[in-house]
Amino acid sequence: MIKRLVDAWVRQRFDVDKMRGPVEKQLKKPLPHNVGWFHTLGSMSLFLFLSQVVTGILLLVYYRPTVNEAFESVKFIMTKPYMGWLYRQVHAWGANLMVIVVFLHMLRTYITGSYKKPREVTWIFGVFLFIFTMIFGFTGYLLPWNQLAYWATTVGTEVAGSVPIVGEWIRTLMRGGPSVGSETLSRFFVIHVIILPWLLVLLVLIHLFLVRLQGVATMERVDEEKEVDKAHGTPFFPTHVLKEGIVFYILLGILITLAILAPFDLGEKADPLTTPHAIKPEWYFLPFYQVLKYFPKLAGIFVVTLAPIFLFLWPFLDRNKERDPRKRPFAVGFCILVLLSLFIFGVVGYLSETERQLFGKTYYFDVYGLPHAGTAAEHMAKLTDAEVK
């Protein structure tokens, strides 16, 4: 049936046979033997991005980007339209999973030394993709216009404001005024639904073009890398494509399960006059936010902005020609140290300014994450006493 349709209609209009060659060449391109399940993390990132685009378009049907209507419109989406609750939850969970998966993909390319010559530019485009994925999350977080989002954005834009010289300008540019308000919502909306999606599409296309052009990295030394031939490689189609299909299916299952079993609460509508206790950014900014607390303002900003600069420059700083992680103890050790620090500062940030029950006792974790026996109120009272003395 399809063959007859192609013969009768398509073939008379387009030179299908001429296209077949290049398409088949790409599909049959052999991948190195080291390509396994971890190499599906890149396409998993792409899958999540596409899922965000689809669910984002569905959300746009009813979402209203104004201070008076945003919260109510999200509430409406969650209760009235067919499956509205599902696509809102899949979008919210998708944003979080995308940060995790893109990060894991970056980690995979780091551990296998894939960022080394000649793939430094692929890595640099990747770092842009990672940063824009985080900004995607930051701008999207404000859109439901709830208390949590409003105050997290106030804090986030305040941090940007402490950058020397240009900080004030950046903060006003982000907020569209002295405080977070209707101008901020409009700006974040435009960035979130127009600028970032198209920018990401462009960057992903360049990133994938580079991956295809240079081929997936082998585990050989930089100066010994040879082109993979058919006899020694794994075919992209069907072997790798099948793996990708399986992980897409599992990801979709995870997204829907999380949407059903752990839905995100909308909370209360934003109230600029009521500051909640302990305002915190989203979990993926939490380690950086916590680090900022330990340094004087300027030094903190300097430390935190070093991280992305370091990521961009890493392929040029690492002069070791080996790709095998067992032969790169410094790079791997450094990576473990960074991961541990992110985890520790993240946990401390999560615990900070909360009251917890540990081994049958109540502890209050102060703003620096230090535990104090007793409740928050008792701690505050002690502080006031000390201050009085």
- In the complex, the residues that contact ligand HEM under the rule CB under 6 A are 39, 41-43, 45-46, 49, 102, 105-106, 109, 112, 114-115, 119, 122-123, 126-127, 129-130, 133, 204, 207-208, 211, 216-217
Count of CB atoms situated within 10 Å of the CB of 1: 5
Dihedral over alpha carbons 161, 163, 168, 170 (to 10 degrees): -80
Which residue, 70 or 255, is less far from ligand HEM as judged by CB?
Answer: 255
Closest distance between ligand HEM and the C-beta of residue 118, in Å? 10
Q: Under DSSP, is residue 144 helix (H, G, I), strand (E, B) or coil?
A: coil
Q: Tokens representing 5?
A: 């349709």
Nearest in space to 188 (alpha carbons), one of 146, 222, 243, 138: 138
Which residue, 43 or 290, is less far from ligand HEM as judged by CB?
Answer: 43
Closest distance between ligand HEM and the C-beta of residue 101, in Å? 8
Closest distance between ligand HEM and the C-beta of residue 40, in Å? 6
Count of CB atoms situated within 10 Å of the CB of 41: 19
- CA 150 to chain CA centroid, Å, is 20
Which residue, 175 or 207, is less far from ligand HEM as judged by CB?
Answer: 207
Closest distance between ligand HEM and the C-beta of residue 71, in Å? 29
Closest distance between ligand HEM and the C-beta of residue 301, in Å? 22
Q: Tokens representing 340?
A: 């541990």
Which residue, 48 or 67, is less far from ligand HEM as judged by CB?
Answer: 48
* The one-letter amino acid at 329: P
User: Would you say how long the chain is, in residues?
Assistant: 389
Contact 331, 320 (CB under 8 A): yes
Which residue, 58 or 204, is less far from ligand HEM as judged by CB?
Answer: 204
Rounded Cα distance, 294 and 300, in Å: 7
Closest distance between ligand HEM and the C-beta of residue 28, in Å? 17
Which residue, 48 or 143, is less far from ligand HEM as judged by CB?
Answer: 48
Alpha helices, DSSP H only, in the chain?
A: 2-5, 16-28, 41-62, 70-79, 84-111, 120-142, 147-161, 167-175, 182-190, 196-214, 241-261, 286-294, 297-317, 329-351, 376-388
Rounded Cα distance, 191 and 200, in Å: 12
Which residue, 5 or 50, is less far from ligand HEM as judged by CB?
Answer: 50
Closest distance between ligand HEM and the C-beta of residue 214, in Å? 7
Contact 269, 71 (CB under 8 A): yes
Closest distance between ligand HEM and the C-beta of residue 59, in Å? 20
Read off the DSSP letter of residue 352: T
Task: Considering only the C-alpha atoms of the chain, give the largest distance between any 2 of them, rounded to a whole number of Å.
Answer: 93
Rounded Cα distance, 93 and 84, in Å: 14
Closest distance between ligand HEM and the C-beta of residue 11, in Å? 32
Which residue, 103 or 364, is less far from ligand HEM as judged by CB?
Answer: 103
Contact 39, 215 (CB under 8 A): no
Which residue, 99 or 143, is less far from ligand HEM as judged by CB?
Answer: 99
